Amino acid sequence: MYVASLLSSAHGLHSSLGTSAISHALQAKNIDKEWKPDEIIIRKLEREITLHRNGKSIKKRIRFYTGTFAEGRRLIKGTLWDHPTRLLSVAMPDTIRNMPLKPINIVANDELPWALFERHDPTCPAIIVEYDVGAAKFNYQYCYP
């Protein structure tokens, strides 16, 4: 199963990554209900993302988003990649690996790609977000790794 491979790949991650990235991935994989965020909500979310000082702008990233529910709240989880070649080293289902990529990709919960880098990269190769739609705020956003 995808989660099992994610967990085995996550073993030995650099300590600076913390457990929040793994928790983020597992939460997305364990939520059965999903909804499809629209472009209006995605654009609002993207205007509020804080960029890492060494990272690329939002518009230059390949972005993946999925809509989930947690405790009755609508959430958007996302990963925003700085370069398509980085996606080759990512925990990503084949359905995503084989699709043509657009700047914004709305995917199912089990298709959201996850970063599993083993070393720190100061250029912020991926931004990981969770956005609470009802509260109109981020639960978290961070540069990975």
Tens digit of each residue's pLDDT (9 = 90 or more) over 69-93: 999 999 999 998 887 666 655 667 7
Half-sphere exposure of 145 (CA within 13 A, CB side): 18
From CA 145, how far away is CA 132, in angstroms rounded?
Answer: 23
Domain ranges of the chain: 2-144
- Asked if residue 14 has pLDDT above 70, the reply is no
Q: Structure pTM?
A: 0.72
- Asked if residue 1 has pLDDT above 60, the reply is no
User: In degrees rounded to 5, what are phi and psi of residue 80?
Assistant: -120, 115
From CA 118, how far away is CA 116, in angstroms rounded?
Answer: 6
Considering 26-30, 105-109, 130-134, the range whose residues carry the highest mean pLDDT is 130-134
Query: Positive or negative CA dihedral for 39, 33, 117, 121?
Result: positive
Tracing tokens 């070649």 back to the chain, one arrives at 85
Average pLDDT, the chain: 75
Average pLDDT, integer, range 109-129: 76
